């Protein structure tokens, strides 16, 4: 009987494997039926470097528009002797709708020649690719750029070059391409409030190729490249690393060295201050650059770059010199993690919290956008598509607005208050719309060797170091180095939608330290789900172009980088903030010495104080939808 069951089990495995193989075979055959396929086309750049490109275009004599995906990631059709179908599935969806789908590796990645740097510099590579594609006999001269994360982040700076063929773009989770927008100076998510975000420390370990990798011989033919790619995709594989442990290493400049990662790009970035001139020479977009492309932006509440993403959308809407460009910016904000839009289900769980049915008809909207700008179709995109589509958690519904934040939002100030014992969940910290009357500051000790642990949050790309999303913070709030301020239970449901601003009045016995804040939805049963979080390094409180250190006993005003959310606090829920001086390993620890920090291994303990008096009214400004 056991033998029979085992044989049945084997048959089931064989049938399942056969079904998968047939499915893979079918997408390839289906694509071959409707598309001309050209793989490993080596597209020349102005300096002679050639970039590996796969082209899928409809079998038609008519000229067609192009959807262009340019990426540092591996799109090779084969890996470990098995065919990969993801690129062909995307190509099939485009080709059947009458588009050519073109995917290209950035300079220095996989089969592309040259040396790689983040964001696919030089920018002229993007411009040259547009020119090459526009001039093809099968092209109608209209190109739309598309991608998520590193496949999106190069698009903004290239848009500023204003190539006439670049007709529209769809950047998704594009924060690491944003350098400076107004007062926000993240330099591509490397910083937040002047503090290193450790996501790139982890990401570069897995992504940066070694300069000694095997090279394709000069002059290799397309036939040669296609044959080679079937068994040799040039994809390096670093050994798996416990990133939660790796990111604890000090000094942080040696984190990649300590795990034997390639570190040339990392080495130059880790030494740059937030305003270093090299940030303005690469592929980052800055707000002195003119975006000249109609854009359909996609962001996520639990992505690392939600605030700069929204700030950039507003910047283009408000400051573009071209009225047509200002009027053709659209935005979607989903309640998901980084690049997880299409993974939403009828019961979407983000971390531990259910946000209900968060699905959206992404393909329908995006292809209507392409039809409008690449085919010139007079369709109903503008009639049917709100300017801003955003998901409100708590209500668990998609909502629409003509601007961000929506009209009707009123900024309401909540002041911090306590009897001087706001430490922990069990302290006396209060959030209230009434200004504080007393003079009872709160104190906590920040030890960089025992930092507050990141638990959930708006994160990306840190391996096993931080799991993103909403998690119950109650256990975290038992720490003495976390100050907790909470409103009374709300008498009616309250929708908070927009940017959240926070101002703290602080002092420290250290020359420099950090201050963190976290916004939380507290349920009647005590569950406390994080919504967004931010941080500010004290030395940069007067701007990122200078460092001004603290003196013991003096009180300083700290304006933190804004947070953002759309969350409905139901009746009986409470609004809470946590304040501390660390959120590690999402953010690097401040060692409190006033030194460079990146080259230091020993820290000093900081005794930090938060004031909430008439003279020093620490506060948080919350956007309430009336």
The pLDDT value given to residue 350: 98
The pLDDT value given to residue 13: 42
Strand ranges for 452-493 from DSSP E: 483-486
Mean pLDDT of 592-597: 97
Residue 124, burial from CB neighbour count under 10 angstroms (0-12, 13-18, 19+): middle
- Cβ-Cβ contacts under 8 Å for 548 (sequence gap 6 or more): 539, 541, 542
Q: For residue range 309-345, list pLDDT tens digits in order.
A: 999 999 999 999 999 999 999 999 999 999 999 999 9
The pLDDT value given to residue 5: 43
Token pair 């009986």 is found at 572
**More confident position, 4 or 601:** 601
Residue 204, burial from CB neighbour count under 10 angstroms (0-12, 13-18, 19+): buried
Residue 107 CA to residue 95 CA, distance in Å, equals 26
| Of residues 557, 561, 573, the one with CA closest to residue 617 | 557
Q: For residue range 534-578, list pLDDT tens digits in order.
A: 999 999 999 999 999 999 989 999 999 999 999 999 999 999 999
- HSE, side-chain direction, 13 A CA sphere, residue 625: 21
Asked whether the CA dihedral 342, 344, 345, 351 is positive or negative, the reply is positive
The pLDDT value given to residue 626: 86
C-beta of residue 246 within 8 angstroms of C-beta of residue 585? no
Q: For residue range 186-224, list pLDDT tens digits in order.
A: 999 999 999 999 999 999 999 987 777 777 777 888 998
Mean pLDDT of 471-496: 98
Mean pLDDT of 58-71: 98
C-beta of residue 402 within 8 angstroms of C-beta of residue 389? no
- Cβ-Cβ contacts under 8 Å for 275 (sequence gap 6 or more): 185, 544, 545
Whether 14 has a pLDDT exceeding 60, the answer reads: no
Give the mean pLDDT of the chain. Answer: 94
Whether 124 has a pLDDT exceeding 60, the answer reads: yes
Whether 18 has a pLDDT exceeding 50, the answer reads: no
Whether 594 has a pLDDT exceeding 80, the answer reads: yes
The pLDDT value given to residue 11: 42
Q: Which of 119-123, 164-168, 530-534 has the lowest mean pLDDT?
A: 119-123
pLDDT band at 25 (very low <50, low <70, confident <90, very high): low
Residue 168 CA to residue 145 CA, distance in Å, equals 7
C-beta of residue 417 within 8 angstroms of C-beta of residue 432? yes
Residue 114 CA to residue 186 CA, distance in Å, equals 28
Residue 546, burial from CB neighbour count under 10 angstroms (0-12, 13-18, 19+): exposed
Q: For residue range 157-191, list pLDDT tens digits in order.
A: 999 999 999 999 999 999 999 999 999 999 999 99
User: Other CB atoms closer than 10 Å to residue 624's CB: what's the count?
Assistant: 16
- Nearest-5° Cα angle at 392, 386 to 396: 110
C-beta of residue 229 within 8 angstroms of C-beta of residue 620? no
The pLDDT value given to residue 99: 98
How do 397-401 and 349-350 pair as beta strands? Answer: unpaired
pTM (predicted TM-score): 0.94
Per 3-state DSSP, the chain is made up of helix, strand and coil in percentages (nearest 5) of: 25, 30, 45
- Cβ-Cβ contacts under 8 Å for 333 (sequence gap 6 or more): 299, 300, 301, 306, 310, 388, 389, 390, 391, 566
Whether 411 has a pLDDT exceeding 90, the answer reads: yes
Tokens (6 digits) for 449? 């060797």
- HSE, side-chain direction, 13 A CA sphere, residue 450: 9
| CA–centroid distance for 335 within its chain | 13
The pLDDT value given to residue 80: 83
How do 178-181 and 184-185 pair as beta strands? Answer: antiparallel
Whether 387 has a pLDDT exceeding 80, the answer reads: yes
Q: Which of 139-143, 210-214, 395-399, 406-410 has the lowest mean pLDDT?
A: 210-214
The pLDDT value given to residue 12: 44
C-beta of residue 370 within 8 angstroms of C-beta of residue 377? no
Token pair 């939380």 is found at 520
Whether 269 has a pLDDT exceeding 70, the answer reads: yes
Give the residues across from 498 on adjacent strands.
565
Whether 59 has a pLDDT exceeding 60, the answer reads: yes
Q: DSSP string covering 415-436, please?
A: EEE-SS--BSTTS--EEESSPP
- HSE, side-chain direction, 13 A CA sphere, residue 236: 19
Residue 188 CA to residue 305 CA, distance in Å, equals 9
Q: Is the peptide bond before 237 cis (omega within 30 degrees of 0)?
A: no
Token pair 């059947």 is found at 96
The pLDDT value given to residue 389: 98
User: Other CB atoms closer than 10 Å to residue 403's CB: what's the count?
Assistant: 14
User: Other CB atoms closer than 10 Å to residue 23's CB: what's the count?
Assistant: 10
């Amino acid at each position: 009987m056991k033998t029979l069951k085992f044989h049945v089990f084997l048959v089931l495995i064989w049938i399942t494997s056969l079904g998968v193989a047939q499915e893979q075979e079918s997408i390839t055959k289906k694509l071959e039926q409707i598309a001309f396929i050209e793989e490993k086309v080596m597209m020349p750049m102005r300096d002679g470097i050639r970039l590996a490109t796969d082209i899928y275009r409809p079998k038609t004599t008519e000229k067609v528009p192009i959807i262009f995906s340019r990426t540092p990631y591996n799109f090779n059709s084969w890996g470990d002797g098995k065919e990969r179908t993801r690129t062909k599935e995307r190509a099939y969806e485009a080709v059947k709708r009458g588009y050519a789908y073109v995917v290209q590796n950035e300079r220095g990645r996989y089969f592309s020649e040259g040396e790689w740097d983040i964001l696919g510099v030089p920018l002229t590579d993007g411009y040259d690719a547009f020119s090459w594609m526009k001039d093809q006999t099968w092209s109608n001269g209209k190109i739309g750029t598309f991608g998520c994360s590193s496949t999106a982040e190069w698009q903004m700076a290239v848009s500023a070059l204003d190539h006439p063929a670049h007709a529209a773009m769809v950047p998704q989770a594009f924060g690491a391409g944003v350098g400076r927008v107004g007062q926000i100076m993240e330099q591509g998510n490397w910083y937040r409030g002047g503090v290193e975000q450790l996501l790139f420390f982890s990401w570069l370990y897995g992504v940066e190729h070694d300069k000694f990798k095997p090279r394709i011989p000069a002059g290799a033919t397309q036939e040669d490249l296609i044959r080679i790619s079937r068994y040799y995709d040039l994809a390096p594989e670093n050994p798996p690393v416990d990133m939660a442990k790796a990111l604890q290493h000090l000094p942080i400049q040696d984190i990649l060295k300590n795990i034997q990662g390639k570190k040339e790009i990392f080495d130059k970035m880790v030494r740059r201050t937030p305003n270093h001139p090299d940030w303005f020479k690469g592929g980052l977009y800055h707000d002195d650059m003119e975006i000249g492309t109609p854009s359909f932006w996609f962001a996520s509440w639990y992505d690392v770059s939600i605030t700069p993403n929204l700030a950039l959308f507003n910047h283009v809407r408000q400051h573009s010199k071209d009225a047509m460009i200002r009027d053709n910016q659209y935005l979607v904000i989903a309640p998901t993690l980084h690049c997880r839009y299409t993974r939403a289900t009828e019961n979407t769980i983000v971390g531990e919290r259910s946000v209900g049915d968060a699905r959206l008809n992404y393909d329908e909207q995006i292809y209507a956008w392409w039809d409008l700008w690449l085919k010139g179709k007079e369709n109903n995109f503008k009639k049917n598509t709100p300017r801003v589509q955003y998901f409100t958690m708590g209500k668990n519904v998609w909502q629409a607005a003509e601007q961000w934040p929506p009209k009707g939002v009123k900024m309401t100030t909540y002041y911090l208050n306590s009897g001087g014992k706001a430490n922990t969940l069990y302290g006396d910290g209060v959030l209230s719309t009434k200004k504080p009357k007393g003079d009872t500051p709160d104190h906590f000790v920040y030890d960089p060797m025992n930092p507050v642990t990141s638990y959930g949050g708006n994160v990306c790309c840190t391996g096993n170091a931080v799991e993103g999303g909403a998690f119950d913070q109650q256990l975290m709030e038992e720490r003495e180095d976390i100050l907790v301020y909470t409103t009374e239970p709300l008498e009616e449901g309250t929708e908070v939608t927009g940017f959240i601003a926070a101002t703290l009045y602080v002092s420290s016995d250290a020359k420099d330290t950090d201050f963190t804040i976290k916004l939380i939805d507290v349920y009647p049963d005590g569950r406390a789900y994080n919504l967004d979080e931010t941080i500010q390094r004290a030395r940069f409180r007067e701007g990122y172009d200078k460092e001004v250190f603290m003196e013991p006993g003096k009180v300083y005003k700290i304006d933190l980088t804004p947070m953002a959310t759309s969350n409905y606090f139901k009746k009986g829920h409470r609004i809470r903030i946590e304040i501390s001086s660390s959120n590690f390993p999402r953010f690097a620890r401040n060692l409190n010495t006033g030194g460079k920090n990146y080259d230091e291994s020993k820290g000093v303990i900081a005794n930090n104080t938060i004031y909430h008096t008439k003279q020093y009214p620490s506060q948080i400004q919350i956007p309430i939808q009336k």
